[in-house]
Structure 1
């Protein structure tokens, strides 16, 4: 993913995966899951729901996991994530 993200201007070299726990979930105001199965697992762990800051990243569909697939799958994933970001970012006039 780091290799596929570089042409889009993203440096993921310092990114490290981290297992989520209740403390981390309590710290966060918003938690976005990339797919429905992760959303369900997060909801079970936290007792949160969409009204309390837990939501599916794209709202109505999953971001597919490109792991083990060709490079084009990673590029498609990045493009979906970038396109979906606007729904989560505040505009300066908000």
Structure 2
């Protein structure tokens, strides 16, 4: 079973920190001890908290993103994590490009864990402004991921 998971989106201020918080919450409720983190492929928001409207939408569902801070994916992440999970095809392409040779991490798309969603990726609510729809997909995919891990 994968013990360490890194979620990745573009800026690490909406989708990936939400996935981190949701999976952490669900894993703890099931008594699973997982290392969970998030990062972005870009460096625009390094050190910043998650986007305010994303925090508000997550808080309304009981997820606290306030202590998280954006960071950029590093080559070491591919050696430190069992799974590196991208929110969309563009970020997956960027991850494949920077993944070091011989790294142990398995790359996956998050939406693959929500096969009945009818979606091909988790749309970026920073641009779509639909934070609740993004959280719906994150919750569904997190449940699917946990089912596969167990």
User: What are the ranges of 5 or more consecutive residues in structure 1 without an aligned counterpart?
Assistant: none
Q: Distance in 1 between matches of 2:109 and 2:100?
A: 15
For residues 59-78 of structure 1, the aligned pairs below 5 Å read: 59=112, 61-70=120-129, 73-78=130-135
Q: Secondary structure at the match of 1:55?
A: strand
Cα offset, 1:47, TM superposition = 5.2
Cα offset, 1:37, TM superposition = 0.4
1:15 paired with 2:56, answer no
Question: Could you list the per-position Cα deviations for residues 30-71 of structure 1 after superposition, in whole angstroms to 9, with x for gaps in the alignment?
Answer: 0100000000110111157xxx5100001171100011444x
RMSD of the TM alignment (CA)?
A: 2.2
Aligned residues: 88
Greater relative CO, 1 or 2 (CA 8 Å, sep 6+): 2
More strand by share: 2
Where has structure 1 moved over 6 Å in runs of 4 or more?
Answer: none
User: What are the ranges of 5 or more consecutive residues in structure 2 without an aligned counterpart?
Assistant: 1-53
Aligned to 1:55: 108
TM-score (norm 2): 0.53
Greater CA radius of gyration, 1 or 2? 1
